Structure 1
Amino acid sequence: MSDPFIVPEEESAAEAIEAIREELELFDDWMQRYRYLINLGEKLPDFPSEWQNDQFRVVGCQSQVWLNFREQEGKLFFAGSSDAVIVKGLIALLLRIYSGRDAVEISQIDPIFITDLGLAGALSANRSNGVASMVKAIQTITQRYL
């Protein structure tokens, strides 16, 4: 099986957020953006079935969401998945921003980017709460390494 942990494409979280903003701006409407999110979710590495349990479940998400991490050379790498296709795409976005960064950088990422990218307004209240729960889970893990 391939490595389930996400290695960042961009040098920094700020660069990842800006790249995502530019990608989202390529689409005319939210139906096209939802398709983009679904495609991102389909590209996530396989999440091991043995991690799909309560130990790795993110509390506060309407759909099932799992998150795992590893620390390597001072950086935190995350893996995640969901049973819902759009949520899986949202996980892919979050991991692109947060994974592969050190704890200090992660702790300095302001989750306002969710609103700034237009995601908060385009998602249902339940999905927005789920994204907030995923960010909180990442921040909780990060606190152990500060």
Structure 2
Amino acid sequence: MVIPILFNLTVGLLIPWIIAIIFCRRTPLLFLTVAPFVALLSITLNQIGMALKFWTLYPETNYLIFNSINIDFGFNPAMAVLFTFIIYIKQWKRWIVYLGFLIFLTGSEKLAVIFNKVKYDDHWNIFYTFIAYLLGLILADIYFHFLKKLTKEL
């Protein structure tokens, strides 16, 4: 049980944040705004999805909240920070960034399914995961867009 937990901690929390910090270290605003918003979104949606038994994350613990903690505070917020950084700071074409992140995020999830880190219920599949990531990216994009507009007015 210890090895799978350490693997999830390393791959789900430490590596994503190391990558995000390396690329976005000069933009602390992203860490202070986008990361908490996406972490809250991730926690909420993962808890709902696991409670409704749409998916199960492994290794499974007695407390549902701990099953997704590395993803909720690591992978998803770090990817959102990188996503926002590339769109708003590097100013890449939005459709290219969306496409690249959707392929990467959905591909990462598919690998998690293949390696038995995630198990889908009969009512959930990789297409729904793709849609969920698309909606999450859109929400992060809209959130930062309005936040940026709001801070210009101050």
Same-fold status (TM-score > 0.5): no
TM-score, scaled to structure 1: 0.34
TM-score, scaled to structure 2: 0.33
The structure richer in helix per residue is 2
The structure with the larger Rg is 2
